[in-house]
Structure 1
Amino acid sequence: MNKKVISSLTIVVALVIGFFVYQNITAVKVQEVNVSAQQSKINEYAHPESFITPEELKAMQEDENQDVVAIGVLKSKDEAIPGSFVLWRPDYQESKEVPYGGVAAPKEDMEKLLSDFGVKEDTTIVTYAANDQHDATRLLWQLKVLGHEDVRLLDGGLNVWIGAGYETAAAAEVGDRPKTDYVATNFNEEALNADLEEVVEAVENTEDYYLLDTRSESEETGSDTKQGAFGPGKIEGSDWIEYSQATAEDGTLKSKAELEELYADVLKSDKEIICYCQSGVRSAYTWFVLTQAIGYDKVQNYDGSWIEWSYNAYEKQDPAVAEHTENGKF
C-alpha cells in the first residue's frame, strides 16, 4: 500500500472518529418517558405547578387562549422546540466587566430580555435544556429572582420532547412575538440569592446555616479546578451532594420519595440552606429540587459560588474568606 493511500485512509478514519465523538458530545439523547407515570410523579411534588410535561407544553402552544413562551438554554439554535427562543449563558449573565464571570445579569437586562421575547406579567414561561437540565433551572432561578410568577421546568427537557415524537425546528427570533415593556414588579433577589457576606456568616454560624456543595467530587476534594476558578478547594464546613444525583436515568427528575432520601441529612437540619457550585448553575438545580420538588422553603442559591469565593481567597487574599477555605493550595 503506497503512502498516498495510507494517508487518505488515515484522514478518513480520523474524520469518522471525529464525527462520532462530536455526536456523542453534542447530540440530543432521545428519551422516551411513560406519560402517565411522569405526570403521577409530578403530582406528588410539593409544587407540581413548577413542572410541565411535553404533552402539556404542546397543548398549551396549540391553545390560542394560552400565553406561553418557551425558552431553551442551548448552545445551538438549530434544534429547538418549535416557537421557542434559545439563549446561552452569556445572554443572561452579567455583561459588564467584573473580576470573575458567571453571575446573573442585572434586573434591567433581564427585563429587556423578556420584553424582547414578548413576555407579559401573566405569561407562562417554560424553560428547558438538553441532556442535562441544570442550565434550564439556572435561568428559571433568575426568573424567580426577577419575581415572575408562572415559570415551569420542562421535565426531561428537549430529550423527552423528541422522545414524545414531537418535531424540532430552528429557534424563534426576536420580533416573532410583539415586544412588550416588561417590568419586574416583584424583584426578589434578597430572598433567593446569597451574597459573599452572607456565605461568610453561614460558615461562622453553623447553628442557623447549612452549606451544600453541589459540584463534582473532584472539585469538592480540591483535586480538580475548573476553568474560571482562581484556585482549588471548598467552603469550610460545607457538605457535598453532587447535583446530578437528583436526576433519574431517563434524564427526568427523580421521584419525591427518592429525593427526600437523597437529601435526608440536609432536610433534617432544619436550617437555612445555601447551595453553591462553580458559578451558581448546578447549585440552581439543587435549589429547584429542594424548593419545588421537595418543598423545603429555606434555600438560597449562591450566585457567585466558587468563582467569587476563590477570587476573594486567592486573588484578593481576603482573610475572612481564605481562612474558611478547605482543601486549598495557597
Structure 2
Amino acid sequence: MDETVCRVGPLDRSATTYIAGHRGLVGSALWRLFEKEGFSRLAGRSSAELDLTDRAAVFDFFEELQPEVVILAAAKVGGILANSTYPVDFLSQNLQIQTNVLDAAVAQRVPRLLFLGSSCIYPKHAEQPIREDSLLTGPLEQTNDAYAIAKITGILTVQAVRRQYGLPWISAMPTNLYGPGDNFSPTGSHVLPALIQRYDQALRNKADHVTNWGTGTPRREFLHVDDMATACLHLLNYFDGPQQVNVGTGEDHTLSEIASLVATSVGYTGTTRWDTSKPDGTPQKLLDVSTIRASGWIPTWSLSEGISDTIEWYRANQSVIRR
C-alpha cells in the first residue's frame, strides 16, 4: 500500500476544490453551498472548456490545478426513456468520465474525493428500505442497468483506491434528486421535472387532461438538491469508510401521489390519465438512510415545499433551463 496519509476532518476553506459537473443539478447546488460556506478556491470547468471524456485533457487539467478536494458530480444522466433507448451512450460516456477523473486524481494523490452515484445501483427487487449492503445481491432494473453498471464501477474504483493507496475517498448514493437547475426535457428528464414541465404546459395550453407513463403505483423517494449538497459537505467533513453511503429522506410516495402534488402546486385542475402500456420501472426504491442519519445529517426540505420551490425556479428561468 502507498504510504500516503490524509487526515479526515472539516475541510479547509482555502483548499483548492474541484467540482466536476459544476453546472449540473447537483454540481450547481454544491457550488452555491461551498461559496456560501466560504470556500475561496473553487474550480469548475464547463464541458466546452474541459471534455471529461478526453483522457489527456483531464490529466493535464489535474496536473495544472493540483486539487486538494474533488467532487465527481459530472455524469451523463436521463430518465427512463433516455436510459432504455441509449444504453451504450450511458454506459460508455459515464465509464469514460469516471475513469479519467478518478485516474487523474490518483495520479495527483488527491487527498479527499467524493464520488456521486445513484440509487439505481441496487437490485430491482432489493428488500425495502434498501441498505448499503444490498449492492451486487441481485439483478438490476433493465431500463437503466447500463447507467447503474457505470456507477457501480465508480464505487468499486473508490474502494480499490482506498485499499491500494490509502486515500480516504468516499462514495455517496443519492435517491431521486430534484430542484433548481434540473433538466426539464420532455424526453430526457427524470420523473419529477418531467411532471412539472407536463402539468405546467397543460395549464398554459388549457388541456383537459395530462397523460403520464405507467400505472402510477411505483413508489419513489425524492430529495431536494440543496439537501444533497449539505449531505455531501457533511460527509466530506465527517465520514471515512469504504462502503457507499445512502442519502435520502427515508420516505417515499406513489408516482400518482407525486403527480397530484405537482398538479396542485402548478395550479392545474384537469384530470390525470395513466398510460399503462408504458413501463413502470422499479416497483419501489426507498433507501435505508440510517448510516448518514447516525452521522448527524438530516434533510430540511419537505417534498411539498421543494416542489413549490422548483416550480418557482422553473417558471422564472425559462430562458436558461435545460430542455
Higher Cα Rg, which structure: 1
Q: Same fold (TM over 0.5)?
A: no
Using structure 2 for the length normalisation, give the TM-score: 0.26
- TM-score with structure 1 length normalisation? 0.26
